[in-house]
Structure 1
Amino acid sequence: MNPTQLVSRTFKTVAMAVALLGSVSTSYAKDKDCWAEFFQESQYGGEHFRLEGSVQLENLTNVQGENWASRIDSLKVGPKATVTVFENTNFKLTLKEMAKYPDLLRSLGLTEKDVLEDSELIFRPNSVIHDLSDFNFHHKIKSLKVECNQ
């Protein structure tokens, strides 16, 4: 191998290593701010658990070895995360079936917006929720999603 080929090959190897290291540190920087913490009591008290990265939990019966269904009362959302919590398992909306019958909704004085707000809550990045009872969601969460934002 002549000196020109050696320099060219060395340059390509170094360039690939830099590219790989750059992509690893970039993804780590992106993901380290994507998290959410969930607490059993209001004001971030009692037992708690933390989820990092994009996560979808269809039910909360076995989260880090414990049943968290209907136990969450406060939460914190990281700077690059969005959290959606649901009153039912499998991300089902509570009154979704009623939305198929607009006359029934009107007769009950409900709107489609009421249906969505009653069964799911969406918390944006950096949200700190001291007490879910402020949203009429005290110990109602049975499934949840954490999504990472760019």
Structure 2
Amino acid sequence: MNQKTLVGNILIIDDQINNLRVLTTILKGKNYKVRKATDGETAIEAAKVEPPDLIILDIKMPGMDGYEVCKHFKSNQKTQDIPIIFISALSELFDKVKAFELGGIDYITKPFQEEEVLARINSQLTIQKQKNFYNKKKNS
């Protein structure tokens, strides 16, 4: 059997099932392990159990919105270094700046293009791997 090597573990947080389905299809097609959550509370628990390499986070969700979820991840020592890419239909400068101020490392506006999503994820995972490599070298 031909075993594919997973290139990253990604947690997608979005209350819209269709968005989850589309992003999952895109990412699994490129050998990413994908986990999904439709609300902030579920996402926080999932990240505690198995911290992902990267989080894709919607802003407008019932209950805890994406900004609150990001604050939680960034205030927790176990999840504070996980890169968070916001993905939202909110396209105003205020929304984008707020996402970056809270610790997001990138922002994708819906509707999104597959190539853009993959390029941004690959870029951030490469940066994260280099950062981890540097930190290991520094501490050894």
User: TM-score, normalized by length of structure 1?
Assistant: 0.29
Structure richer in helix, relative to its length: 2
Report the structure number with the largest CA radius of gyration. 1
User: TM-score, normalized by length of structure 2?
Assistant: 0.31
Structure richer in strand, relative to its length: 1
